[in-house]
């Protein structure tokens, strides 16, 4: 098994464990992850709708988002102990809230989004 395949398998197992702990479906998990991505972009970009849209279209942003989401998921799995179901959900929502995320994308992520903007402006 390649290193990338191992990483993907670990991430999938972590995701499954989180969904089990939260008693969430794939849909609930995915919707929450996307809601937080949207909130994070809004928090980082502000009212610049074009900038937000360009960031959403940048594959490196989504790769960064998935990797850091997994890191928070793995930490969550390690941190919870003796919590009720509701407390587990609250803890997850707090630790995955867009405003509590301490990570920021590498400058290359924003550079790619800016390049998309400039490319569109040149060809319009």
Q: What is the pTM of this model?
A: 0.79
Q: What is the pLDDT of residues 62-73, one digit of tens each?
A: 988 999 999 999
pLDDT(110) > 80 = no
For residue 6, what are the contacts with CB-CB under 8 A and spacing of at least 6? none
Q: Cα(109)–Cα(37) distance, rounded to whole angstroms?
A: 14
Distance, C-alpha 115 to centroid of its chain: 22
Q: What is the pLDDT of residues 35-80, one digit of tens each?
A: 999 999 888 888 878 878 888 888 888 988 999 999 999 999 999 8
More confident residue, 94 or 106: 94
End-to-end distance of the chain based on CA atoms, in angstroms? 46
pLDDT of residue 66: 92
């Amino acid at each position: 098994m390649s290193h990338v395949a191992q990483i993907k398998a670990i991430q999938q197992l972590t995701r499954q464990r989180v969904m089990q702990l939260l008693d969430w479906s794939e849909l609930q998990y995915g919707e929450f992850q996307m809601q937080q991505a949207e909130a994070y972009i809004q928090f980082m970009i502000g009212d610049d709708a074009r900038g937000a849209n360009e960031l959403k279209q940048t594959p490196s942003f989504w790769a960064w988002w998935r990797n850091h989401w997994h890191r928070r998921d793995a930490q969550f799995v390690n941190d919870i102990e003796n919590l009720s179901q509701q407390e587990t959900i609250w803890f997850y929502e707090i630790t995955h809230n867009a405003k509590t995320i301490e990570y920021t994308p590498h400058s290359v992520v924003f550079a790619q989004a800016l390049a998309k903007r400039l490319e569109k402006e040149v060809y319009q």
